[in-house]
């Protein structure tokens, strides 16, 4: 279904704009990626409405998507698995944050451990999506800056 929507949007784009036919797969992929990301964002916001805490989804989306952009991570083999995994991670993090609120002494050590892990391990190298050494170094610097700022804001 996602591919069909992306094909339709690409077809509509080509109907209205004179574009090179050899670029068609790039547009289809771009639409697939955009639709997949948008559906994940909307479903996370919907879940947070169900949990009655929209702020949690906005915070999660900022940290998860923005930081992950530079730190890398697991790439699911299909868009549907990515959608399910992303929503499951949000639900898990949300529920974990609810539990940690009952055990507040765990909050700071957990945050420190998380930030140190991201600081030291980012970006994750992917064999399916390799980065040049220059881009790897840029992403490492960006991930470290972002996690440091996030930690300072947390404190």
* pLDDT value for 125: 80
* pLDDT value for 104: 80
The yes-or-no verdict on residue 31 having pLDDT over 90 is yes
* pLDDT value for 97: 85
The yes-or-no verdict on residue 32 having pLDDT over 90 is yes
- The pLDDT mean for the chain works out to 88
- pTM, two decimal places: 0.81
* pLDDT value for 107: 83
The yes-or-no verdict on residue 131 having pLDDT over 80 is no
* pLDDT value for 73: 75
Q: pLDDT tens for residues 42-89?
A: 999 999 999 999 998 998 998 888 888 888 877 788 889 999 999 999
Higher pLDDT, 107 or 28: 28
CA torsion 26→27→33→35, rounded to 10°? -170
* pLDDT value for 45: 95
Q: Give the range of the structural domain holding residue 66, as residue numbers without chain letter.
A: 2-154
- Rounded percentage of the chain residues whose pLDDT exceeds 70: 100
3-state secondary structure the chain: CHHHHHHHHHHHHHHHCCCCHHHHHHHHHHHHHHHHHHHHHHHHHHHHHHCCCHHHHHHHHHHHHHHHHHHCCCCCCCHHHHHHHHHHHHHHHHHHHHHHHHCHHHHHHHHHHHHHHHHHHCCCCCCCCCCCHHHHHHHHHHHHHHHHHHHHHHC
Report the domain count for the chain.
Answer: 1
């Amino acid at each position: 279904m996602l591919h069909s929507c992306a094909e339709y949007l690409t077809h509509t784009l080509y109907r209205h704009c004179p574009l090179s036919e050899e670029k068609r797969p790039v547009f289809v992929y771009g639409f697939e990626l955009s639709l997949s990301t948008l559906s994940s964002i909307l479903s996370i916001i919907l879940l947070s409405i169900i949990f009655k805490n929209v702020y949690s989804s906005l915070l999660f989306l900022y940290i998860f998507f923005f930081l992950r952009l530079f730190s890398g991570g697991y790439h699911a083999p299909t868009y549907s698995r990515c959608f399910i995994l992303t929503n499951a991670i949000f639900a898990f993090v949300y529920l974990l944050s609810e539990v940690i609120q009952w055990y507040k002494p765990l909050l700071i050590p957990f945050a420190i451990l998380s930030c140190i892990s991201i600081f030291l391990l980012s970006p994750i190298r992917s064999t399916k999506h390799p980065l040049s050494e220059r881009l790897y170094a840029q992403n490492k610097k960006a991930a470290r800056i972002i996690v440091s700022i996030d930690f300072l804001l947390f404190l």
